[in-house]
Amino acid sequence: MLKRYKTMLQNSWIWIAGLALALSASQATSAAKATKKPVEWEALNPAFNGATFVNNPETCRICHQDPMDTYDETMHAQALKHTVTNGGCESCHGPRSKHIENPTQELAFEKLTPAQQSAVCLQCHEGGNRFGWKAGAHRANDVICLSCHSVMEKKSERALLAKASAPETCFQCHGEVRAETNKTSHHPVREGRMDCASCHNPHGSTPGLLVKNTLNETCYTCHTEKRGPFLWEHAPVRENCANCHTAHGSNHRNLLASKDSFLCLSCHSYGGHVNLPRYNRVSNPYGSGCVNCHIATHGSNHPSGAKQTR
Ligand code: HEC
Ligand code: HEC
Ligand code: HEC
Ligand code: HEC
Ligand code: HEC
Ligand code: HEC
Ligand code: HEC
Ligand code: HEC
Ligand code: HEC
Ligand code: HEC
């Protein structure tokens, strides 16, 4: 028994590799697998009563050539070619036999509540980034998948977004953030080097819909050198980067929440400062004084860096 356990350990890399393989395989097929648990169309909308799946998009083409031409450019057209509902139309639109005989609006998507509309998409997209969707701020405010995604027409390079880019998609409702990203100091969102989803998971449920559980963890994903640990920590940095920085934009340099020395003086008193006489001569505290000497404001690893001066 023990021996077997030992060889198992010796071969543990095989187990790990196997597990990793199994995991990646299950991820790859998760979307397809979920279709085995289709939505209850009749429960969503009684007008589906008695309808069956046509299972042939060519039937739809007879009357819907135009929307199908644009749909054919989307990732779904490729990905759902061989699903149970052949082409996927009825995965989202429900069984359509009655509709073909008598086309009306009564089966339309818009007849469903916001939560039901999203449920149609979630039959295949429940996991991954959407793990927290049901508890998230967007769903709680009746924002639906289609607020941000366009599925019948490809309008963005990636992720079937409703507008050409993620920021444009978000600015439909968050116009105030656009104004912030236009300030002099800003994350390079408008330059296209990063976007809203670099920091936010719009499907998530963390406070502020951030990609990580806390604000600081979110910042560390790119600014790893600020994580520390430092020999001499600066308490407000460890607590929350937003004690001093804004994330979207600021008219003060370095995304600072206020002008340098005012920022420091909002927590520190300046009277009695060791360098007071010299300090007054060298640089006015209302200029950009403090960090001229306290260069290690995020923390210091220097043996004598307790006062962040090195
Ligand atoms: C991923 C889900 C999904 C798939 C797959 C899908 N649709 Fe749609 N379709 C929608 C949604 C949501 C709307 C309503 C919002 C909109 O128009 O974008 C819609 C709207 C439509 C409309 C009405 C709007 C218009 O432009 O006339 C038609 C017709 C239509 N779809 C046909 C089809 C056909 C045919 C297929 C298969 C070739 C298909 N859809 C595949 C989700 C889907
Ligand atoms: C005989 C023609 C015809 C066929 C075949 C047909 N449709 Fe339609 N469809 C229509 C008409 C007409 C409308 C508009 C109804 C209205 O505005 O009252 C419509 C509307 C729609 C809509 C938007 C409103 C709604 O009911 O959701 C969707 C989605 C749709 N069709 C999907 C499909 C799909 C999927 C198929 C293939 C399984 C299909 N249609 C086959 C004629 C047809
Ligand atoms: C029948 C299953 C199914 C349904 C229903 C479905 N999807 Fe998808 N979706 C897929 C598959 C398969 C892919 C391909 C990528 C993958 O495996 O995740 C995909 C891809 C996507 C992508 C990524 C596109 C890209 O370019 O990366 C988005 C966004 C998306 N779906 C949104 C939606 C929305 C919104 C709805 C509801 C209107 C919906 N899906 C309904 C199966 C589905
Ligand atoms: C508030 C806007 C917003 C809403 C609401 C939203 N999405 Fe997204 N979604 C995005 C953005 C932005 C991306 C691109 C993310 C990225 O770049 O990593 C995305 C990416 C995706 C992707 C592809 C990448 C991934 O995360 O797997 C899928 C699939 C997807 N969304 C499905 C959905 C479904 C299903 C819903 C509804 C339950 C939904 N989305 C609601 C904005 C949104
Ligand atoms: C259809 C409108 C709509 C779109 C599009 C939209 N949002 Fe929202 N968003 C809301 C609403 C409504 C709320 C909740 C009320 C509020 O806080 O303003 C919200 C809240 C938020 C919050 C704050 C959550 C919290 O916990 O305080 C963030 C962050 C956010 N959205 C990011 C995004 C991002 C990123 C995008 C684009 C990928 C986006 N939103 C697209 C409507 C939208
Ligand atoms: C560098 C990371 C980062 C980027 C990029 C980013 N955000 Fe934020 N966003 C944050 C942080 C951090 C918060 C504050 C969250 C909190 O207080 O919990 C926030 C808050 C928000 C809020 C809540 C209201 C507010 O202003 O505090 C909205 C809405 C929002 N962001 C939308 C967006 C949109 C839209 C984009 C893209 C144009 C975007 N964000 C890009 C980090 C970012
Ligand atoms: C997805 C990566 C990413 C994340 C996450 C991120 N940043 Fe940044 N940050 C950048 C990039 C890229 C720059 C621009 C660097 C450049 O221009 O050389 C930057 C620049 C900055 C600057 C300097 C701005 C200036 O005007 O010079 C500050 C301060 C900053 N980030 C703080 C934060 C804070 C606080 C957070 C968390 C809320 C955060 N960053 C999250 C990528 C990121
Ligand atoms: C006590 C206030 C304060 C806090 C809290 C703070 N910073 Fe800063 N940060 C500053 C100041 C002041 C500057 C400008 C430094 C300079 O000019 O030498 C700066 C500059 C930066 C810069 C750009 C220059 C550089 O050093 O790379 C980045 C990136 C940055 N901070 C990230 C962060 C992150 C990430 C956090 C949270 C872990 C954080 N800051 C917390 C005050 C703070
Ligand atoms: C949000 C409040 C806050 C802001 C803003 C702030 N600090 Fe601090 N700072 C603190 C706290 C709390 C401590 C830890 C005090 C302690 O341990 O007694 C500290 C410690 C220090 C120390 C070490 C003090 C000692 O006695 O060891 C220095 C130096 C310092 N801060 C300089 C600055 C500078 C320079 C700025 C502006 C870039 C700044 N602080 C901004 C809260 C703040
Ligand atoms: C000319 C350089 C210089 C400037 C400018 C400066 N400091 Fe200092 N500061 C020092 C030195 C040197 C010390 C003491 C270091 C030591 O004891 O090792 C110190 C100590 C401190 C301490 C710790 C106080 C204590 O009693 O130990 C705080 C807090 C502080 N400074 C905040 C600030 C703030 C806030 C500003 C801007 C308004 C500022 N400093 C500007 C050089 C400077």
Query: Of 248, 250, 254, 255, which is best to mutate to test ligand 6, by the most ligand atoms within 8 angstroms of its C-beta?
Result: 248
- pLDDT at residue 33, as a whole number: 43
Stretch 252-278: mean pLDDT, rounded? 81
Residue 249 Cα to ligand 5 middle (Å): 17
76 ligand 1 Cβ < 6 A: yes
294 ligand 9 Cβ < 6 A: yes
Residue 163 Cα to ligand 6 middle (Å): 19
219 ligand 7 Cβ < 6 A: yes
286 ligand 10 Cβ < 6 A: no
Task: Give 288's pLDDT tier (boundaries 50, 70, 90).
Answer: low
Mean of the per-residue pLDDT values for the chain? 85
Other beta carbons less than 10 A from residue 130's beta carbon: 20
Lowest mean pLDDT among 29-33, 108-112, 271-275, 300-304: 29-33
- pLDDT at residue 284, as a whole number: 53
Which atom of ligand 9 approaches the CA of 263 most closely?
A: 5
Stretch 262-284: mean pLDDT, rounded? 68
User: Residue of the nearest CA to atom 24 in ligand 5?
Assistant: 208
- pLDDT at residue 32, as a whole number: 42
174 ligand 5 Cβ < 6 A: yes
pLDDT tens digits for 53-88?
A: 999 999 999 999 999 999 999 999 999 988 777 778
Cross-strand bridge partners of residue 196: none
Does residue 279 or residue 132 have the better pLDDT?
132
pLDDT tens digits for 202-238?
A: 999 999 999 999 999 999 999 999 999 999 999 999 9
Which atom of ligand 9 approaches the CA of 239 most closely?
A: 1
- pLDDT at residue 254, as a whole number: 95
Residue 209 Cα to ligand 5 middle (Å): 8
pLDDT tens digits for 123-156?
A: 999 888 898 899 999 999 999 999 999 999 999 9
pTM reported for the whole predicted model: 0.92
140 ligand 9 Cβ < 6 A: no
